[in-house]
Amino acid sequence: MNRAEPCSRATLEACALRHLARREYARAELRRLLQRTCADPAVVDAVLDELEAQALLSDLRFGQARLRSTCQRGFGPWRLRHDLQRAGADVDSESLVAETDWHKIASVALEKRFGSVAPDSAKEWGRRARFLQARGFPGEIIAAVLRAHYGTHHPEFPAD
């Protein structure tokens, strides 16, 4: 990775604020961006500490924003956990996941993609299950949503 030249704290802070003006960032994610600009990790950490002290940078706020975005785009809890982990957010993903109605989000995503027509074959049922799985929903939510949405029981999913 190419290291940039040493930079002033003011320059680095301005760069961080430009990034934060666009969207929320996790501290680790913003650190990686700023280290491309500045060669001195001590300056980067000092700027990040100052931004956190001013409440301009927050991993919790980043997690909440990522949760909203994940839900609006129709993705599931596994996708949210992956995104938070990839960004390096120091936030309790379990509490974010617990306060969300994932069944409703999966149902809306399924309706948007396939409509309300019930699957006519095991192959089509599997296609819809794989769609939800690829969007980050666990098997128990997929089975419950497919059963609730289409009102049918598939032999691969045991009845509740």
Domain spanning 102-150 has what CATH number? 1.10.10
How many angstroms separate the CA atoms of 127 and 30, rounded?
Answer: 38
What pLDDT is stored for residue 154 in this prediction?
58
CA-closest candidate to residue 157, choices 56, 81, 78, 145: 145
What pLDDT is stored for residue 118 in this prediction?
84
Residue 82 has pLDDT above 60, yes or no: yes
pLDDT tens-digit series, residues 34-69? 998 887 889 999 999 999 999 999 999 999 999 999
What pLDDT is stored for residue 133 in this prediction?
97
Residue 74 has pLDDT above 90, yes or no: yes
Record the tokens describing residue 66, joined without a space: 């990522």
Listed by start position, the domains of the chain span: 9-57, 60-98, 102-150
pTM: 0.81
Burial of 103 (C-beta count, 10 Å sphere; 0-12/13-18/19+): middle
pLDDT tens-digit series, residues 96-126? 888 899 999 999 999 999 988 888 888 999 9
Sign of CA dihedral 82, 84, 88, 94: negative
Residue 3 has pLDDT above 60, yes or no: no
What pLDDT is stored for residue 2 in this prediction?
46
Give 76 or 93, the one with higher predicted confidence. 76
Residue 31 has pLDDT above 80, yes or no: yes
How many angstroms separate the CA atoms of 14 and 128, rounded?
Answer: 47
